[in-house]
């Protein structure tokens, strides 16, 4: 077997990047849900805007903005820090790209649904 990697490029669809970032953020305790990306008409038609994720890519680096609603009893700063770490891990380990800036916007605080 030849151990040289095959030549060519690998493309990851933007929807896949958005899904990975979203699922990583939602996996952090204290995050209740994503919040739609704020903005005007231009944001309505951008991929991921309704999912609470805004991505930019440059070469093999992905920068992410996440818009979240967190639990009212959560330590907001700690939740945001854990979201940054988890999204960074997901981008690097699952997708295999470099994580750029990861900006977390806490758009609202809410009570978890009654169980």
Low-confidence ranges of the chain (pLDDT < 70): 1-2, 39-50, 112-113
Is there a contact between 64 and 54 (Cβ–Cβ < 8 Å)?
yes
Tokens encoding 109: 């605080």
pTM of the shown model: 0.83
Mean pLDDT of the chain: 86
Helix axes 14-26, 76-89, angle to 10 degrees: 140
Is 89 in a helix, a strand, or coil? helix
Q: How far apart are alpha carbons 10 and 102 in whole angstroms?
A: 23
Per-residue pLDDT tens digits for 23-56 = 999 999 999 999 988 765 444 445 555 689 999 8
Q: How far apart are alpha carbons 7 and 89 in whole angstroms?
A: 26
What's the pLDDT at 41? 47
How far does the chain reach from its first CA to its final CA, in angstroms? Answer: 56
Is 7 in a helix, a strand, or coil? coil
Domains, the chain: 14-110 (3.30.70.1350)
């Amino acid at each position: 077997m030849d151990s040289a990697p095959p030549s060519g490029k690998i493309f990851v669809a933007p929807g896949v990047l958005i899904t990975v970032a979203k699922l990583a953020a939602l996996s952090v305790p204290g995050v209740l849900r994503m919040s739609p990306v704020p903005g005007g008409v231009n944001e309505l038609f951008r991929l991921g805007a309704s999912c609470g994720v805004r991505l930019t890519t440059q070469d093999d680096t992905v920068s992410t903005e996440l818009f979240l609603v967190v639990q009212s009893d959560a330590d907001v700063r700690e939740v945001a820090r854990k979201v940054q770490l988890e999204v960074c891990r997901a981008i690097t380990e699952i997708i295999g790209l470099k994580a750029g800036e990861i900006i977390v916007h806490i758009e609202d605080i809410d009570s978890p649904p009654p169980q």
